[in-house]
Structure 1
């Protein structure tokens, strides 16, 4: 990734009409499917990172970190986004986002986008974990966690552990037309 990719992430987040997104439920089906894809991708990354770590990333004492955590810090603990981009994102979130969880996720996505190509070199072509989650925010934004589920009003996704999501079927397309078609079914 690069500063340019990090800039694109901040621009994407800043372009979201958070109020409209948080009040819209028309993309519940596709948002739930995108959330499943995020969980699958994050689980694949956790599985890969576990191979290089002597201690588990998530054990009983750390279960609160899954599924919305700063994955970039596990890839490269020294990763820091450009300070101006981080300040721009923080200012935008302070004014427009109503959720602490949303802010935490957006900052984690910025950290991910700030990873150097060298930091990611040993992981082959694993997918960007935050891409589907940013699409959730762009398309609807509104979800909450309750009783072991991520809830989108009309659709729910079982939270589970990361191990529960590793073998999930991938979402074959993140294309907006394909996502819109899911919502029409």
Structure 2
């Protein structure tokens, strides 16, 4: 079952026209909103993972974890993406995506999709953290991090700490028509 999800993630990522990512500003507002949704979801997962991993889950010595980290590694360290899928994804990204951060995010999304239902069973109904980021990429949302912000050229999202994102209002829908309407406003 998780293999189907992992295959679907690789198919989605390899279907993205990475040459066009960042060339279009028409989805900047929705991409910024999707990023806020990712940060909210990731914060919810960190809050839950704090219960499993006693002590400070994120501190200065672990700054590489927030906000783009391999959540699956902390949910179930025994689960790994299929080697062939990792090879396919890495081969594709090395040819089409120039950002190390993009590669890290895509590999983390693949690992997430490789988790089993059993691995996720103890975490209730927490949302898929990577769906908003995959939508950002599919909508051409190139971004970079600078001066405490995630920047989409026309829109910026404050990075802040994971705790700051817990109170973010959840998006009612990730549907394409809803996202297009956000861009039109």
TM-score, normalization by structure 1: 0.98
2:119 paired with 1:119: yes
* Native 8 Å contact 1:149 1:158 kept in 2: yes
The match for 1:91 is: 91
2:159 paired with 1:165: no
The correspondence of residues 28-67 of structure 1 with structure 2, limited to 5 A, is 28-67=28-67
Calculate the aligned-residue CA RMSD, in Å.
0.9
**Uncovered stretches (5+) of structure 2, i.e. residues with no partner:** none
2:77 paired with 1:77: yes
C-alpha distance in structure 1 between counterparts of 2:63 and 2:92, whole Å: 29
Aligned length: 185
Q: Give the Å deviation of 1:64.
A: 3.0
**Uncovered stretches (5+) of structure 1, i.e. residues with no partner:** none
Please list the CA deviations of residues 77-128 of structure 1 after superposition, one character each: whole Å capped at 9, or x if unmatched. 1221011111110111011101000000000000000001111000111100
Greater helix content: 1
Displacement over 2 Å in runs of 4+: none
Q: Give the Å deviation of 1:52.
A: 1.7
